[in-house]
Amino acid sequence: MGKKLLLKNAHIEGIRYFETYRKHGGYEAAEKALKMKPEEILEEVKTSGLRGRGGAGFPTGMKWSFLAKPEGVPRHLVVNADESEPGTFKDRYLMEFLPHLLIEGMLISSYTLGSNTSYIYIRGEYSWIPDILEEAIDEAKAAGFLGKNILGTGFDLEIYVQRGAGAYICGEETALLESLEGRRGNPRLKPPFPAVKGLWERPTVVNNVESIAAVVPIIEIGGAEYAKIGVGRSTGTKLISACGNINKPGVYEIDMTITVEEFIYSDEYCGGIPNGKKLKACIPGGSSVPIVPANLLLKTINGEPRYMNYESLADGGFATGTMMGSGGFIVLDEDQCVVNHTMTLARFYNHESCGQCTPCREGTGWMYKILKKIEKGEGKMEDIDLLWDIQRKIEGNTICPLGDAAAWPVAAAIRHFRDEFEWHVNNPELSQTQNYGIANYADPIPAVSNS
Amino acid sequence: MSETIAFKPESLAQVHKIIARYPEGRQKSALIPVLHLAQKEFDGWLAVPVMDYVAELLSITPIEVYEVATFYTMFNMKPVGKYVLEVCRTGPCMLNGSDNILDHIRKKLNIKDGETSEDGLFTLKPAECLGACGYAPMMQLGKFFHENLTIEKVDEILDLCRQGAIALD
């Protein structure tokens, strides 16, 4: 069994409620933190090596240290609960089953940052979860952990839950702030960064739900102890939401020292692939990160086992590696069609592009159209090159990372599965009734092109 | 829609409670939560007079409401059926058979994507990733998710809708 920090009490009945949460050590970290100086807490978070759990992996302590503190200007903490990256459903799990862990994390973080009004921006479709969070907020308030003069420290905190309304782009922090201000979710140009000018032009820190929840065990055991868990710069534990063709889909907490092979095949985690089928490919960090074929997933290009952590998953760069991303782990078995799967992702990004930047607005539309054409057996060989060309013209040419996020899945699918695209073009009729299958993706490792 | 559009008193109280979450003069921040309330109260979609009413409530211009309402997928810009079936079809759901679920609903209700059944009961709204990837295929119905769908489960849900026996809120 791996080390559990966030989900260690998830199995306890009633842990959703204050009384049970408190009975099992809940809010003890907050009590400890509120006796510390904010700078001391910041040091603990820095020492812990915690990296943003939303997908970008930016060190949380460093992000906090950028927060501007002009005299007389209120600051805000905004929790990003706009979990919308295909394959990702870990924050939902935390909020649904352990709402007080988030509230306690917000209390400690708000105290550290000097935010007296903090917000949780949650995706609109999680429409039953605000009730759970608001109930937890009321309970915490009744127990004196929120509201005025918390635990007699003189620190005040109100937490509000705000629902979005169906826009993936609002997971991008500046789009989220726009949305929270009652506007379309169009990302802002940076700089200024939210740490200087964020919500209502006030200094703001935007953090993912899991990052804020992780602050609780960091205070509990100390930053140095937290940093001992895991390996290298992948410290602590990470929630992985596993889905696709696996026996045991769900949310798992891992300590980032296990191999990808163990994660997929051991009964403690995914439990292998249903019906004894073979592994074809995997997107290990949410739909935006590169898809890799089985051989490159289980082993790096140097033949080393690949581990479930930031560095190992990224080993080999985009040529042969992928990314940890949000931890949305999507498994494809031998019967899945990479062209069709990539088409659904292209449709997703086309639907979710805010339309502000031309390369993304137009490019995502063209990628979707071309992929649909190939998938239906109506594609030409030059369409594959055209797709490659379009994704290259999107990447790096947009205000926010949605453009990259839309380009990478298409690029990786062509990079590793080009023969499957060509097969669709060459076999327009057969491709409508049959899948390409596993072909040669498992062994040996296909040649890697540098295109 | 009647000429006089107004929230019920309890909804209006809710609107004021929401506005109080933000600093003075930042009441526009309440726009999305208030549009959710409006859509729920006024027949499941946002007609122009409803949006104008919301603009007035928040002391903003109507265009500020229109541009937001049209941006976000959850706001319906035309009338919908009593039951809006939002079936996810993105990657992970596709891997688990969401295409079959969608086909089944299209055939059974004799509607295309975005259309409403003749009896006015059902609207089919294919959705992009709703965050239930581990419990795929799935659909959202009102406030709740229905997960690990099979054709049989879908039929059961449609029957329950027809009987008015399914929770939307």
Tokens linked to A179: 């949305």
Cross-chain Cβ contact B23/A124 below 8 Å = no
Cross-chain Cβ contact B23/A347 below 8 Å = no
Secondary structure (3-state) at A208: strand
Q: Is the pLDDT of residue A444 over 90?
A: no
Q: Phi and psi at residue A402, in whole multiples of 5°?
A: -60, -35
Minimal CA separation from B155 to chain A, in Å: 23
Angle at A87 between CA A83 and CA A93, to 5 degrees: 55
**Is the N-terminal amide bond of A191 cis, ω within 30° of 0?**
yes
What is the rounded CA–CA span in Å between residue A48 and residue A42?
10
Percent of chain B with pLDDT over 90: 97
Choose the closest CB to B91 out of A160, A251, A330.
A330
Secondary structure (3-state) at A75: strand
**Given this model, what pLDDT does residue A440 score?**
55
**Given this model, what pLDDT does residue A451 score?**
40
Count of CB pairs separated by less than 8 Å, A with B: 147
The answer to whether B37 touches B169, Cβ cutoff 8 Å, is no
Residue A281 CA: distances (Å) to CA of A236, A294, A318, A337: 27, 5, 15, 10
Cross-chain Cβ contact A167/B92 below 8 Å = no
Choose the closest CB to B74 out of A165, A241, A283.
A165
The answer to whether A73 touches A203, Cβ cutoff 8 Å, is yes
Q: What is the mean pLDDT of chain B?
A: 96
User: Binding site membership of B for [2Fe-2S] cluster: which residues?
Assistant: 88, 93, 129, 133
Q: Is the pLDDT of residue A114 over 70?
A: yes
Quick one: pLDDT band at residue A437, thresholds 50, 70, 90? confident
Within 351-370 of A, beta carbons closer than 8 Å to B belong to: 351-352, 354
B contacts of A130 (beta carbons < 8 Å): none
Quick one: pLDDT band at residue B5, thresholds 50, 70, 90? very high
Cross-chain Cβ contact B29/A164 below 8 Å = no
**Given this model, what pLDDT does residue A441 score?**
58
Q: Is the pLDDT of residue B3 over 70?
A: no
Mean pLDDT within A101-111: 98
Choose the closest CB to A182 out of B32, B128, B140.
B32
What is the rounded CA–CA span in Å between residue B88 and residue B157?
16
The torsion angle over the Cα atoms of residues A276, A277, A283 and A287, rounded to 10 degrees, is -100
Mean pLDDT within B48-74: 98
Percent of chain A with pLDDT over 70: 97
Q: Is the pLDDT of residue A449 over 60?
A: no
pTM, full prediction: 0.96
Q: What counts of helices (H) and strands (E) characterise chain A?
A: 19, 11
pLDDT tens readout for residues A39-75: 999 999 999 999 999 988 999 999 999 999 999 999 9
Tell me whether A348 touches chain B (CB under 8 Å): yes
Residues 6+ apart with CB under 8 A from B169: B40, B142, B143
Q: Hey, where are the domains in chain B?
A: 9-69, 83-162
**Given this model, what pLDDT does residue A438 score?**
77
Of A204, A109, A205, A198, which Cα lies nearest the Cα of A157? A109
**Given this model, what pLDDT does residue A3 score?**
83
Minimal CA separation from A331 to chain B, in Å: 8
What's the CATH number of domain B83-162, 3.90.1570.10, 1.20.210.10, 3.40.30.10, 1.20.120.450?
Answer: 3.40.30.10
Q: Is the pLDDT of residue A447 over 90?
A: no
Cross-chain Cβ contact B31/A126 below 8 Å = no
**Given this model, what pLDDT does residue A446 score?**
42
pLDDT tens readout for residues B89-117: 999 999 999 999 999 999 999 999 999 99
The answer to whether A423 touches A431, Cβ cutoff 8 Å, is yes
Tokens linked to B163: 């009987």
A contacts of B135 (beta carbons < 8 Å): 249
**Given this model, what pLDDT does residue A2 score?**
72
pLDDT tens readout for residues A210-262: 999 999 999 999 999 999 999 999 999 999 999 999 999 999 999 999 999 99
In this chain, the answer to whether the domains covering B9-69 and B83-162 adopt an identical fold is no
Q: Is the pLDDT of residue A83 over 50?
A: yes
Quick one: pLDDT band at residue A352, thresholds 50, 70, 90? very high
User: Which CATH code is given to the segment(s) B9-69?
Assistant: 1.10.10
Of A431, A429, A409, which Cα lies nearest the Cα of A421? A431
Query: Is the complex ipTM more than 0.95?
Result: yes
Q: Is the pLDDT of residue A266 over 80?
A: yes
Q: Is the pLDDT of residue A288 over 70?
A: yes
* Nearest residue in chain A measured CA to CA from B96: A244
Domains and CATH numbers, chain A: 18-228 (3.40.50.11540), 234-333 (3.10.20.600), 338-433 (1.20.1440.230)
A interface mutation test: which of B129, B140, B143 has the most A CBs within 10 A? B129
Quick one: pLDDT band at residue A450, thresholds 50, 70, 90? very low
Mean pLDDT within A423-434: 94
Mean pLDDT within A358-367: 98
Q: What is the mean pLDDT of chain A?
A: 95
pLDDT tens readout for residues B115-168: 999 999 999 999 999 999 999 999 999 999 999 999 999 999 999 999 999 999
